[in-house]
Amino acid sequence: MVGPNGECLVMIATPATYVDAQAACAAMNAHLAYLKNAALDAAAETFVGSNNTFIGASDRAIEGTFVWDDGTPLGFTNWHTGEPNNGGSGATYQEDCVIIAGARIGAQWDDRPCDPSEVPTSGTFAYLCQY
């Protein structure tokens, strides 16, 4: 898909871990998508449809401080109500990677596990590459 400012977005529906998704995007000379404005985010959410999809943001370096994979802060965000919540109240695991929660009504962003090591039923998602 071509985004509103000429960005190329490619969604890979095959679930992968965050690290594997980063590598797959890099292999096509791209990176996980940086949705830095409302227009690009809206286009991306429409494009991924009902797929829960990794984008290129996480708080893996400093808990609670989400940044794009290039280290820049999130100037624009589109968190779903109550997110990010690092697993919710009483959670015993980390949610460090950001997805578009396409399977949720209203989509928007959610923090989720980056791989299945802590939550076997989560941590692999479709992913959105940008170049």
Q: Tell me, yes or no, whether 75 lies in a domain.
A: yes
Q: What is the mean pLDDT of the chain?
A: 95
Q: Tell me, yes or no, whether 24 lies in a domain.
A: yes
Structural domain boundaries enclosing 53: 9-130
Is the distance from CB of 26 to CB of 130 less than 8 angstroms? no
Q: Tell me, yes or no, whether 1 lies in a domain.
A: no
Is the distance from CB of 69 to CB of 32 less than 8 angstroms? yes
Is the distance from CB of 130 to CB of 30 less than 8 angstroms? yes
Q: Tell me, yes or no, whether 15 lies in a domain.
A: yes
pLDDT of 91 higher than 80 = no
Q: Tell me, yes or no, whether 86 lies in a domain.
A: yes
The CATH number covering residue 49 comes to 3.10.100.10
Q: How many domains would you assign to the chain?
A: 1
pLDDT of 34 higher than 80 = yes
